[in-house]
Amino acid sequence: MKPIHLLLFISFFFSTELFSQQGLGVMVDRAQQALTDLGNRSSRKPKPRDIQGTHYFNENFEVATLDYFGKELNDKGFMRYNAFRDEIEMASTTTQNESDLILMQSKDIVPVISGEKYLYLPHRLEDGRAQIGYLILLYEGKKNTVYIKKKKVFMEEVVARTGLENPFPPRFVDEVKIYVSKNGDTPIPLRTKKKIVASFFKENSDKVRKFIKANRLKVSEPKDIIRVFEFADNL
């Protein structure tokens, strides 16, 4: 991807002068053409109606900004995260239901949607395999950076074979995991069990364990895992 093409796209989509419902719609029309030239228009088949759930944790398009090569742009657009396809979708209004306009995926293009910063980063799966995709920045400390990965997983239909079995329709289910990067290393998943979280801090594991217990923290909750890392950072 050539930087000049990306700059053209950003100038098309993010324009202070035309940041209105009508004006932004015009700019998005231009952006759609620019993205078509770059091959970033998504070709999709309609989702069958009998599937329960959606691709999204939040189906609404929200006001969003971009960090571009470390620089925060002042202008705004409308975006949402497709947690099944691992894509950032863009729209001309907050009331739009569908969009095939996809933000370019790059570590240097960081969308911030409703205060959540989406970073396109390589990371490790639980089985050790490498993957690249969006992680949401949760906490950035002295030694550790914590992310959250929100994903929608498709489950096939389950047909009951006997009267003792329960049938399930095809559906999308939520999958939320915590990832940690230590000293700038590739982020790895951290199982949200109290003993496992405490053991992550090695020589300080006992202090962290006592802190979790004393404050009755649920390490599966993002706000509580942030408190744990903040505490450990100050030991």
Pairing verdict, β 109-113 and 116-124: antiparallel
Q: What is the mean pLDDT of residues 98-126?
A: 92
Predicted confidence at residue 164, as pLDDT, reads 76
**Which residues fall within 8 angstroms of residue 62, CB to CB, at 6 or more apart?**
78, 79, 80, 94, 113, 114
- Answer for the pair 112, 137: CB distance below 8 angstroms, yes or no: no
- Whether 22 has a pLDDT exceeding 90, the answer reads no
pLDDT by residue (tens digit) across 115-170? 999 999 999 999 999 999 999 999 999 899 999 999 999 988 777 777 777 777 88
- Answer for the pair 52, 170: CB distance below 8 angstroms, yes or no: yes
Predicted confidence at residue 34, as pLDDT, reads 40
When computed from its CA atoms, the radius of gyration of the chain, rounded to whole angstroms, is 21
Report how far Cα 214 is from the mean position of its chain's Cα atoms. 31
- Whether 4 has a pLDDT exceeding 90, the answer reads no
pTM of the shown model: 0.79
pLDDT by residue (tens digit) across 163-202? 777 777 888 999 999 999 999 999 999 999 999 999 999 9
- Answer for the pair 197, 228: CB distance below 8 angstroms, yes or no: yes
pLDDT by residue (tens digit) across 61-98? 999 988 888 888 877 889 999 999 999 998 888 888 88
Going from N- to C-terminal start, the domains of the chain cover 3-190, 191-235
Could you identify the residue written with the tokens 């599937």? 51
Q: Phi, psi at residue 88, to the nearest 5°?
A: -100, 115
Q: Strands (DSSP E) along 38-167, which ranges? A: 62-68, 71-72, 77-82, 87-91, 101-102, 109-113, 116-124, 130-140, 144-155
Predicted confidence at residue 49, as pLDDT, reads 63
Predicted confidence at residue 168, as pLDDT, reads 79
Helices (H) and strands (E) in the chain, counts: 5, 11
